[in-house]
Structure 1
């Protein structure tokens, strides 16, 4: 078999990669120059190939182990790895979002340097936070306009409640002068979107609580962690450390991961968490649905575009 060079494994741009894997009850290993996972069946062991050159994130759930050789190959292909609980949540490392990132000193420098040019100025940092919220609203509008499955479930952009939630938040943003106020306004909009999702799906008695244990909350948790994986990949590839957040707090590890994941969460994860809860899907079915929608709506591309634009824009001194 022809051996691959590490450079060959980076041929597919991270922003164009299609796969996010959650694995459980298996052993991840290297064999004949490929990364495989081994499952133990009753009478035989089965090997399954992982196409690492087209993979962004691997989440290792309950009952998994990984060899040093496999980890070395995943690192050479630029794949992020996280250990997590059953079903994909939570990521271990306390309650923070943390990923085992490949070691590479040859990532771009211009994005980190551009980020630093505005980050230490509180007003410029606030403007980027507000810019992120505006493009978040635009992504909801873009996604809900195109997605036929959402329309079939009653999620319409011209619904009066949807317009009030999005336009009201958009108009508020330009007048806010503190990051804390932006966070409060964002939370209020998300609550409105929860109510709209409840109305569309006919679910009752929902309150957002990650520990609640009902399907809607579990699916929101699960989908959010998948979005965090894409956000962590975006930041690692562009060379921007997680700590340089614009909204979620300078002291929390993973803070910028939350900021970037928020760009796409309300557009994709929120409605499908309620739709899949209504249909009583399994976690695996929900995960496949979300990953399909991430690919369909080019969520990873969108994250890359917005973070690069924020890092390279020279207009951070202006009002967002």
Structure 2
């Protein structure tokens, strides 16, 4: 098969791509102009057989390589040409070094490109050095986060059937209290405290709804709910890292999780979708004793169904280009499908 040109590999915009992959105990390679992963399977005759599986890189955002994986230089070159972010992780899609820093994201290997847009980075810098404007941006992230949770939990029939609804009195109270405290917060530490209180309320609601007894959020745990939360969060970090790379905004320019924390903007972006999608499905899948693969498939399907990546792009672009006062409509726009908006060459 003739090798594809880099321009051919970027025909699908990142905001419209559907695939994320987590691979373990396999070898990723380039073969006949495609990126494949090779596994060893035991046949009925007890002989080892090599099995090749294709990775549709033009429709992929993130590739996570877990335990027992290797990748060739040729495969990395093709992944870079297609704009796929690659991360090395421990088992289950979470970092090997979680014991050192439980919230540190995977070190993403980003494709090298000199043709990504600069307008969003320039827009980000116009407000980032101003404390008040940066706090305003953080509040807008929180507004968008709650709007998305309301939208997903109101629309998703499967979550409704599991008892996750914004019509619950406790959830309505928690969201209203969060909104009031968010609007009156005078510094990012106040906002972080308010966010922590909301997250605690959501954990309690999810545990009660799924009848999960004695739940305590732990980043190092052996219970399924915590394991699934960790796994789902890192998938969200992958989408967030992709969004920032495509728009050309460095990961260090956070608006909420701390100016001095490397990669903290990834957390800010991932928070947009974690409460709405990852949190409820982690508890539901734990209740149903799902496997890690089943949970991952459920999360990735939910990301697609609710256009999580589109939502991340829209929110970040809106905040980068227009500092709308908190409390007013965000005025989010559809992702532009032309030109340099998502990194095409001029």
User: Structure 1-normalised TM-score?
Assistant: 0.97
Matched, 1:66 2:75: no
Deviation at 1:286, TM superposition (A): 0.5
Name 1:247's counterpart in structure 2.
Answer: 256
Q: 1:115-194 counterparts in 2 under 5 A? A: 115-194=124-203
- Identify unmatched segments of 5+ residues in structure 1: none
1:41 corresponding residue in structure 2: 41
Structure 2 residue 60 is matched with structure 1 residue 55: yes
In the alignment, which residue of structure 1 is the partner of 2:315?
Answer: 306
Q: For the residues of structure 2 that align with 1:3 and 1:26, how far apart are their CA atoms? A: 23
SS of the counterpart of 1:37? Answer: strand
CA shift digits 1:81-121 (9 cap, x unpaired): 00000110126696422200000010000000000000000
In structure 2, how many angstroms separate the alpha carbons of the residues matched to 1:92 and 1:208? 19
User: In the alignment, which residue of structure 1 is the partner of 2:81?
Assistant: 76
Question: Is the partner of 1:165 in helix, strand or coil?
Answer: helix
**What is the rounded CA distance, in whole Å, between the counterparts of 1:90 and 1:172 in structure 2?**
34
2:269 to 256, 260, 272: 260
Q: Give 3-state SS (helix, strand or coil) of 2:112's partner.
A: coil
CA contact (8 A) 2:2 2:32 kept: no
**In structure 2, what is the Cα distance between the partners aligned to 1:92 and 1:57?**
20
Distance 2:232 2:50 in 1: 31
Cα distance in structure 2, aligned partners of 1:109 and 1:264: 25
Rounded to whole Å, the distance in 2 between the matches of 1:319 and 1:144 is 23
Q: Deviations over 1:265-302 (max 9, x none)?
A: 00000000000010011111100000000000000000
Partner SS, residue 118 of structure 1: helix
Q: How many residues align?
A: 318
Q: Distance in 1 between matches of 2:221 and 2:9?
A: 41
SS of equivalent to 2:67: coil
Question: Is the CA contact (8 Å cut-off) linking 1:82 and 1:91 kept in structure 2?
Answer: no
* Counterparts of 1:91 and 1:9, CA distance in 2: 31
- In the aligned structure 1, how far is the partner of 2:165 from the partner of 2:30? 47
- Residue 284 of structure 1: aligned partner: 293
Q: Where does residue 335 of structure 2 map in the other structure? A: none
- Structure 1 distance, partners of 2:223, 2:308, is 26
Regions of 4+ moved over 3 Å: 91-95
Per mean C-alpha deviation after superposition, the further-off stretch among 91-100 and 248-257 is 91-100
Shift of 1:212: 2.4
Task: Name 2:338's counterpart in structure 1.
Answer: none
Partner of 1:2: 2
Trace 1:159-238 onto structure 2 (pairs within 5 A).
Answer: 159-238=168-247
| SS of aligned partner of 1:39 | strand
- TM-score of the superposed pair, with normalisation by structure 2: 0.90
Q: CA deviation at 1:2?
A: 3.5
The secondary structure found in structure 2 opposite 1:35 is strand
Task: Name the SS of the counterpart of 1:211 in structure 2.
Answer: coil
CA distance in 2, matches of 1:25, 1:203: 32
Q: CA deviation at 1:157?
A: 1.4
CA RMSD in angstroms comes to 1.2
Larger mean CA deviation between 84-93 and 200-209 belongs to 84-93
Shift in Å at residue 3 of structure 1? 2.8
